[in-house]
Amino acid sequence: MREITFGAAVNEAMAEEMRLDESIIILGEDVAEAGTPFKVLSGLVEEFGTERVIDTPISEPGFTGIAVGAAMTGLRPIVDLMFGDFLFLIMDQLCNQAAKTHYMSGGKLSVPMVLRTNMGATRRSAAQHSQSLQALVAHIPGLKVAMPSSAYEAKGLMKTAIRDNNPVVIFEDKLMYNDKAEVPEEEYLINFGEANILRSGTDITLIATSSMVQQAEMAANTLADQNISAEVIDPRTISPLDETTLINSVKKTSHAIVIDEGHQNYGITAEIAARISEKAFYYLDAPVQRLGAMDVPVPFSPVLEDLTVPTAQQIHERVVMVLEGKI
Amino acid sequence: MSNNKDNKNSYLQMFRQMVRIRAFEEQANQLYLSAKMPGLTHMYVGQEAVAVGICEALTPNDKITSTHRGHGHCVAKGADFKQMFCELLGKQEGYCRGKGGSMHIADQANGNLGANAIVGGSAGIATGAALTAKRMGKKEVSVCFFGDGALGQGLLYETMNMAALWKLPVIYACENNLYGEYTKVEEMAAGDLMARAKGFGIQSFEVDGQDVLAVNNLTQELVERARKGDGPFFILLNTYRYHGHHVGDINREYYRSKEEEQLWREERDPITNFSQLLVDKKISTSEELKSIELQIEKDAEEAVNYALNAAWPDASEVNMHVFASN
Ligand SMILES: Cc1ncc(C[n+]2csc(CCOP(=O)(O)OP(=O)(O)O)c2C)c(N)n1
Ligand SMILES: [Mg+2]
């Protein structure tokens, strides 16, 4: 099968959907000729024109609000938010407006829009360009949240997001744009709320999102050398969350570690660990463990920044501690 | 220009500060190109007269807030090369102990409240500093530096409105370098740039941002008036960045032509033109200016070498300073 990059997969998903549906537009800063700073949207303006691929001023709350209104009245906007850190600028439009409209209108209005943005540290970009803020939006009822972990996932989840009749936030890991994976030429979708078991195992369940999936798989590989069999699961969407697959895995392995690049305090890892404790408590042989980003603003200095993000080695060490009863 | 002789010191100081910014940036660019600098950075080269013309009208107690393109403001406000390069390289001795880097460099002792990686993100901070000055009866002013791109941010208009209502001693300095990232200003800002602040009753001025004397004269006048409670003010400074949006933005002909870049570099360079003026008016000689330049280039090189060899922060720094101690 052909291999394409994560960035190309996102681009392809958007182009395919835009060919099928005239109502899809893209709004964001430098999305047209520049194709975004990460060059992920290159070529789209050439095919779809500036009427559908629209460069905006640096006015995040404004263009997000315009997308909400456009979505309520017949368009299907994809908002491009250059850095996930800028979510803090658009929270009212996303969380007070987009997320609540369908419910508040008694189901009469809806907001079919996608907000594509990114996450992830270790690009030496400091505290305002490195955050992983998925927990903030996953907290809000009415928003769906997808976290693709490879080119294959990115394409399938993006296509599903575009067809969804609700506001969907997609977090892409900015360090992954050049990573390649097998992506079929034929059309496919990936359903929201269906976790992916990347590797089955019997000793411990590693639940990892986005950038942390690769780390979990690397850890699973080195653990296998020590005859430890780890099951690796990617939830794909954290809202909705495929609780059943996660719980069933933990019931089988009796051990679990949850890994996500957002802050650990009140984060994705906390939510998933709580659900496991609620639903699989009597199957557990050890407390559920969590590995998230350190609870500090992301520091600039490489020697400090590298300390803040979970690594395969940390996962490996934690697994050994759990299985040896040292927790 | 009868006061030329009296002004010799201040003119040479402005020359020196502009040359310092350029020397700093040339070294920073080299650090990036030779893969010695972590991350990306945004060069201020071409815009020196703006930062220097304004900051030379301020005292160290006056506050500024800066942008992602902030090295120039930081140098102009009196920062030291060594501590700045240490910060750019993420070293312990940097202004922010390596925690902030290029986009968050701050110099508290000289009144620089910090660069900012959020476009327009410091409009509130500068205005808040002006509120402090007014409330505490200090005769300080604050200057909010921002780019033309920040004219898209609502925060700017909210804070300008309050500054006007409350007569705060703040100067909004909009550096119009014609582009925000890869987009021309006229594609991002509708209508008249000058009319925005005027709409709030804020007196607004437009000045050639390549002419350090024009910038300095205007700012001196406005600072004096702001200290007396006559503010706020808005200045639109027309200028140009010579490099790409950031150091990695090399192939940029798709959004601006080589001819345009060349025109600004060759005909409107703030340092070349000011040197010419200093020589023409017999305030200095080309030899004197040349020796100043050489000395500054040497200082910059030494500072870079110092920073390259400086120590990394200790790992224990990572969760230090999340909260201030009580
Ligand atoms: C709120 C926000 N939106 C987008 C960005 C990404 N960004 C960084 S610099 C920049 C362009 C800023 O243009 P301008 O204000 O004119 O400053 P210049 O780079 O020209 O100095 C953009 C869009 C950001 N840092 N913050
Ligand atoms: Mg600009």
* CATH assignment of A196-323, among 3.50.50.60, 3.40.50.920, 1.10.645.10, 3.40.50.300: 3.40.50.920
Taking the C-alpha atoms of residue B115 and residue B101, their distance in angstroms, rounded to an integer, is: 10
Distance of CA B260 to the CA centre of its chain: 23
- Residues from chain B that touch A62, judged by Cβ atoms under 8 A, are 152, 154
Rounded to 10 degrees, the C-alpha dihedral B3/B6/B9/B11 comes to: 0
The answer to whether B188 contacts A308, with C-beta atoms less than 8 Å apart, is no
Q: Which residue of B has its CA nearest to A297?
A: B322
Structure tokens at B196: 């925005």
Q: What is the DSSP letter of A291?
A: E
Q: Which residues are CB-contacts of B294 (< 8 A; sequence separation ≥ 6)?
A: none
pLDDT of residue B3: 54
Q: In CATH, what number is assigned to the domain containing residue B98?
A: 3.40.50.970
Structure tokens at B281: 């008016």
The residues pairing with B173 across neighbouring beta strands, listed in sequence order, are: B145, B235
Cβ separation A30–B90 shorter than 8 A: no
Most distant pair of Cα atoms in chain A: their distance: 60
Closest residue in B to A86 (Cα) is B118
Cβ of A265 under 8 Å from any chain B Cβ? no
Q: Could you tell me if residue B326 is inside a domain?
A: no
Say if the Cβ atoms of A128 and B104 lie within 8 Å: yes
Structural domain includes residue B50: yes
What tokens appear for B144 in the block?
Answer: 């909010």
Window 171-200 of A, Cβ < 8 Å to B:
none
Residue-wise pLDDT tens digits, B3-20: 555 689 999 999 999 999
Residue B7's pLDDT is 85
Contact flag B98-A304 (C-beta cutoff 8 Å): yes
Instruction: Using a cut of 0.95, tell me whether the model's pTM lies above it.
Output: yes
Give me the pLDDT at residue B119, please.
98
Radius of gyration of chain B (CA): 19
Find out whether the beta carbon of A86 lies less than 6 Å from any atom of ligand 1.
Answer: yes
Which segments within B114-217 are labelled E, that is strand? 142-147, 170-176, 179-180, 183-184, 203-208
Nearest CA to ligand 1 atom 17: B147
CA distance A124 to chain B (A): 5
A196-323 has the same fold as A3-182: yes
Contact A30/B188, CB-based, under 8 Å? no
Distance from CA of A156 to the nearest CA of B (A): 30
Interface list for B 106-125 with A (CB within 8 A): 116-121
pLDDT, tens digit, 9 for 90 and up, residues A56-70: 999 999 999 999 999
A243-253 helix and A268-280 helix, angle to the nearest 10 degrees: 60
Q: Which of A102, A134, A145 is nearest to A240 (CA)?
A: A145
Mean pLDDT score, A27-36? 97
Which are the catalytic amino acids of A?
A: 60, 129
Residues from chain A that touch B121, judged by Cβ atoms under 8 A, are 128
- The answer on pLDDT for A238 being more than 80 is yes
Q: Is B185 on the interface with A (CB under 8 A)?
A: no
Tally the domains of chain B: 1
For residue B10, how far is the Cα from the chain centroid?
Answer: 18
Three-class SS state of B311: coil
Segments in chain B below pLDDT 50:
1-2
Model confidence pLDDT, tens digit, residues A79-131? 999 999 999 999 999 999 999 999 999 999 999 999 999 999 999 999 999 99
Within a domain: B324? no
pLDDT for B6:
65
Mean pLDDT of all residues in A297-303: 98
In terms of residue numbers, what domain contains B145?
2-319
Phi and psi angles of residue B26, each rounded to the nearest 5 degrees, phi first: -60, -40
Q: How far is the CA of B69 from the centre of ligand 1 (A)?
A: 9
Indicate which ligand has the atom closest to the C-alpha of B50. Answer: 1
Q: Choosing among B84, B99, B245, B317, which should be mutated to test the A contact, i.e. which has the most A CBs within 10 A?
A: B99
DSSP state for residue B1 in the 8-state scheme? -
List Cβ<8 Å contacts ≥24 apart for B260-263: none
Place of tokens 């690594």: A311
pLDDT of residue B279: 98
Tell which one of B174, B175, B181 to mutate to probe ligand 1, the residue whose CB is within 8 A of the most ligand atoms.
B181
**Binding site membership of B46 for ligand 1 (Cβ less than 6 Å):** no
What's the CA-to-centroid distance between B149 and ligand 2, angstroms? Answer: 5
**What is the C-alpha separation between B237 and A190, in angstroms, rounded?**
51
Tell me the percentage of chain A whose pLDDT exceeds 70: 100
Phi, psi dihedral angles at A25 (to 5 degrees): -130, 160
For A247, the enclosing helix (H) or strand (E) is: helix A243-253
Calculate mean pLDDT across residues A26-45.
Answer: 97
B177-206: b (≥16 Cβ within 10 Å) or e: bebbbbbebeebbeeebeebbeebebebbe
In angstroms, the separation between the Cα of residue B154 and the nearest Cα of chain A is 7
CATH superfamily assigned to domain A3-182: Thiamin diphosphate (ThDP)-binding fold, Pyr/PP domains (3.40.50.970)
Let me know if residue B62 belongs to a domain: yes
Residues β-bridged to residue A208: A259
Tell me the three state secondary structure of residue B237.
Answer: strand
Nearest of A145, A121, A123, A119 to residue A132 by alpha carbon: A119
Percent of residues, chain A, with pLDDT higher than 90 = 100
Tokens of A278: 């609620």
CA angle B152, B156, B158 (to 5 degrees): 120
The full set of domain ranges for chain A reads 3-182, 196-323
The dihedral through the CA atoms of A62, A64, A68, A71 has a sign that is positive
State in Å: Cα B119 to ligand 1 middle: 5
Q: How close, in Å, is residue A103 to chain B by CA atoms?
A: 28
ipTM over 0.90: yes
Beta strands in chain B (DSSP E): 63-65, 142-147, 170-176, 179-180, 183-184, 203-208, 233-238
Give the model confidence (pLDDT) of A164-203 as tens digits. 999 999 999 999 999 999 999 999 999 999 999 999 999 9
Does A59 contact B100 at a Cβ distance shorter than 8 Å?
Answer: no
Mean pLDDT of chain A, nearest integer: 98
A30 contact B CB<8A: yes
Q: How confident is the model at residue A259 (pLDDT cuts 50, 70, 90)?
A: very high
